[in-house]
Structure 1
Amino acid sequence: MRLSVLDQAPITGGKMPQNALEYAVELAQVAEELGYDRMWLAEHHGSDAFASSAPEIITAYIAAKTNRIRLGTGGTMIMHYSPLKMAEVFKTLSALAPGRIDFGVGRAPGGDQRSIYALSQGNNPDFDHLYEKLDTTLTLINDEVPEELLYKHTIATPQKVVLPESWLLGSSGNSAIEAGRRGMGYSFAQFFMLGSMRKEIFELYRYHFKPSAFMEKPEINVAYLVTVAETKEEAEYQAKPQDIARIHLAQGRMEQLMSPEEAKNYQLSEEEKVGIQTNRQIHLVGTAKEVADKLRQDAEEYGFQEAMICSIAHSQEQRLNAYRLLAKEML
């Protein structure tokens, strides 16, 4: 099974946003050395908890600092941008790093309501035609002429470059079908929604898959939230800040990650304790062997080829250690 990285450029307590971006570059370089297949940058707006608001720019910078690892977005929040701009951005990236760029697309806003309207310059955002926008973008990337009159008389430059791989992010049967119909890879957000991963979702994707210029055969990766350490006890200690952050997120509070010491002294309510135990179904915590066994079990049961690891620790040292331990166990 292949391993990859999903990075949100988290800004942890006591750190500066610039640190988060520097850490993303370091993580990419370490992941490349360890044999990880790809690294994607998420897109978040309107929060001081994540520094990855422009993942395509971070992708370009990291591409210049690495040699082999595939890079891209997980994902570009398609509702905010024009098809022509997205096509030109990813064709440019692919021209700069041929054969290493992924155009990962998400349909969520990646931010709160105020961010959504600010990105749309106060206009009502269009939630209803995102797949049509995606079709136009893919057509332009492939140097073809879209059906829409608006785009018939322009081209997306640079032309005749190596096509980026194109992936659709999702967590439902509908997104799986749409990814398959377009000949895109399908990236399933297991860390995003409790109890959502089912065999039939991936079966729908494979059944509806049609080879395209972007992908010849069905490809699935599954994104997990993971905390790994040398011992189970240390992993639990390192995981508690993320456990608390997810509880707060469910309450509408996106906050910077506290330190393990702060989390240890945080007084959980009974309701929060139950919430953490429930979330542990999608937050994998343990030794590298324990987590690797779970990943291999899921891969065999659900039939995917790649696990994308999102590990958010308070310290960069601990975060890199988690990726190293998992690579040693699985790669």
Structure 2
Amino acid sequence: MSLNTMPSTINRTFSIAPMLDWTDRHYRYFARLMSAQALLYTEMVTTGAIIHGKGDYLAYNDEEHPLALQLGGSNAVDLATCAKLAAERGYDEINLNVGCPSDRVQNGRFGACLMAEPELVAQCVEAMRAVVDIPVTVKTRIGIDEQDSYEFLTQFIDTVSAAGCDTFIIHARKAWLQGLSPKENREIPELDYPRVYQLKRDYPHLNLSLNGGVKTLTQCAEHLAHVDGVMVGREAYQNPYMLAQVDQRLCGEDKPVLSRDAVLEKMIPYIEKHLQDGGRLNHITRHITGLYQGEVGSRAWRRYVSENAHKPGAGIEVLHQARASMDLK
């Protein structure tokens, strides 16, 4: 990957949430084919993985811009080291995870538990901002455990914004750090959109995006009447074709909407290169099985891809045959 010497202008109207094992570089390339404006986020990468890991945890495709790196960590020195490396690699934004509730993340002293330590989060933000020129942002919850008052949330925002963070992505439900799994924490307790709206009214100078439970572009538009941006997670992954109208419906662009078949055709050269480089077909197809969600024959498409893409030597013909199987329905 070459260095990106021309930083992108970030449009925060619509973004796709960082999702572990889902929003890897293959999915992000696929998403970018459908929306030029959506801000894409990496999976959360820990500072330990970047500093001590053997792989290249900062690799991406140039076509993915605008692209934000989400970091997990709470050591200001390590975060600054990783932020600097990411900026040198051309990332457009550094985002600090203050929202993940898993036990593993808590044991590493990062994620949602950091909401209880706003001064530490402020130090981390300050350390990263000191070494990069790109935005440093924070993704957080509206509260944790019994610390779920509006005052608790505003104290966190006050402390962290004073360190120079002017952009927050707010997951509109609190996190239970004990007793609930990460999956349950995506659905329990109930979402509280009005609290995020109130935050924007009280902090008009900050850029605030809302996250949690958003499933349609119509819902995005409704939220955008109250906040600066909307971040969509699982729906953008499981029903990815929703991205094909983001630029037109939310960002005011006047351009044709790509058909699902056109998206697939645009994906073929990328897949072919991946195969030529020694990759397996299912590394990519697992991310695109939702392309025909809701269409007649979509079940046949998904079944054919899932049953054949993992086989040794599987190539592009699997996708063509899977698409042809839809027309038999």
TM-score, normalisation: structure 1? 0.44
TM-score, normalisation: structure 2? 0.44
| Greater relative contact order (Cα < 8 A, sep 6+) | 1
